[in-house]
Amino acid sequence: MKERAGAPQAPMRARIVAAFGRNFLADAGGAGPLPCVARGKRSEVVCGDWVLLRPGDPATIEGVLERRNTLWREDAWRSKVFAANLDLLLVVTAAEPTPNLELVGRALIAASAEDIEAVVVVNKSELPATAALLARLRPLADCGYRLLQVCARGQPAQAVEQLRPWLSGRVSMLLGASGVGKSTLANALIPGLQARTGELSQALDAGRHTTTTTRLWPLPDLPAGSCLLDSPGFQAFGLNHLSVSQLQHAMPEVAARNGRCRFHNCSHRGEPGCAVRQAVEAGDIDRERYALYLRVLQELLQACGHPTA
Ligand SMILES: Nc1nc2c(ncn2[C@@H]2O[C@H](COP(=O)(O)OP(=O)(O)OP(=O)(O)O)[C@@H](O)[C@H]2O)c(=O)[nH]1
Ligand SMILES: [Mg+2]
Ligand SMILES: [Zn+2]
């Protein structure tokens, strides 16, 4: 038998920076992203995951380390984790294309339920219709969310200045409907990203210059560990894995009234002595936000087979 050159290399910790099918790129602290593959038939490895990598050609993912948190997306068939281990969610919206406030509201619920801080980024602030959008977003500011206004295309340097304090030392993700300007923001924050996006797509054999998969990039000029995830725009945000109690704690204006209703297990739908309903009637809780609460609640109850009357 031939003698092997050196002992087998030990697995190393690495972070997944791009996922495409069963092919991945991982950042193992080396010069560039390392191509790797998942073991086994089903790969549940997502962008932001910390994994144990066994060196090789290609390197193989031996296991996924415990996640601090996860975000889910949903289609007609199933829910799927699409990112993990985030510190901050930048929920991006804009006056054009037609704003999807449902998505914004749901993204904020998902972040809160996973203990991920979230801010709303209103992009394309130079558009006249931004004033109307800000008026519609007012209820979010009223219940404590920060709203940042930026113009990523026209004033990228200013946008970067505004976002930098939020991004420092954290893993942040841009999320929002298609066309709101997430990639434009990512490009402003990471000079040369456009070119690197092309290289990455090639490495993954995923076609060039397409924004079809979530990607993680280190942020330059910020403390080590500051990273940004750009994600493809999508419509449906996964919340069906939440419990009713998680939902009730994930909306600040509802959470503030938990325990104040007559019944301790009040669903805030129509029970007598409901502090949430009273706040809605009094105008202290926005009706649109309450309607969102009721819609998500209904979905959760349906998903777990409860009567929904
Ligand atoms: N008017 C205006 N347009 C902008 C601004 N920022 C980005 N855009 C434009 O909005 C369009 C969509 O921008 P993208 O950055 O590709 O949007 P995205 O959110 O990454 O879209 P997906 O990748 O499809 O999810 C492009 O034509 C941008 O030039 C802005 O501040 N003002
Ligand atoms: Mg994009
Ligand atoms: Zn109640």
Cis peptide before 58 (omega within 30 of 0): yes
At 1, is the pLDDT very low, low, confident or very high (cuts 50, 70, 90)? Answer: very low
The SS3 call for residue 237 is strand
Distance of alpha carbon 14 from alpha carbon 25, whole angstroms: 10
Question: Which is higher by pLDDT, 152 or 309?
Answer: 152
185 C-alpha to ligand 3 centroid (Å): 40
Tell me which residue of 184, 192, 181, 199 sits closest to 221, measured CA to CA: 192
CB 239 within 8 A of CB 110: yes
87: phi then psi, degrees, rounded to nearest 5? -105, -30
Distance of alpha carbon 150 from alpha carbon 216, whole angstroms: 22
| Among protein residues, the one whose CA lies closest to atom 29 of ligand 1 | 153
* pLDDT tens, position by position, 10-41: 899 999 999 888 889 999 987 788 999 998 76
Please report the atom of ligand 1 found closest to the CA of residue 125. Answer: 31
> Interhelix angle for 156-167 vs 182-189, to 10°?
80
* pLDDT tens, position by position, 97-121: 999 999 999 999 999 999 999 999 9
Q: Could you tell me how far CA 186 lies from the centroid of its own chain?
A: 14
Distance of alpha carbon 118 from alpha carbon 146, whole angstroms: 8
Question: Could you tell me the CATH superfamily of domain 244-303?
Answer: Probable gtpase engc; domain 3 (1.10.40.50)
277 C-alpha to ligand 3 centroid (Å): 6
Q: For domain 12-64, which CATH number applies: 2.60.120.10, 3.30.930.10, 2.40.50.140, 3.40.50.10490? A: 2.40.50.140
Q: How many residues does the chain have?
A: 309
Other C-beta atoms closer than 10 Å to the C-beta of 33 total 23
**pTM to 2 decimals?**
0.91
4 C-alpha to ligand 3 centroid (Å): 68
Copy the structure tokens of residue 254.
Answer: 């509802």
Residues with CB under 5 A from ligand 3 (ion): 261, 266, 268, 274, 276
Domain-by-domain residue ranges, the chain? 12-64, 70-230, 244-303
Q: For ligand 1, pick from 184, 190, 193, 237 the residue to mutate: most ligand atoms within 8 Å of CB.
A: 184
304 C-alpha to ligand 3 centroid (Å): 21
- pLDDT value at residue 86: 98
| Among protein residues, the one whose CA lies closest to atom 13 of ligand 1 | 181
Question: Which is higher by pLDDT, 302 or 197?
Answer: 302
Distance of alpha carbon 155 from alpha carbon 116, whole angstroms: 28
* Ligand (nearest to CA of 91): 1
For the domain spanning 70-230, the CATH number is 3.40.50.300
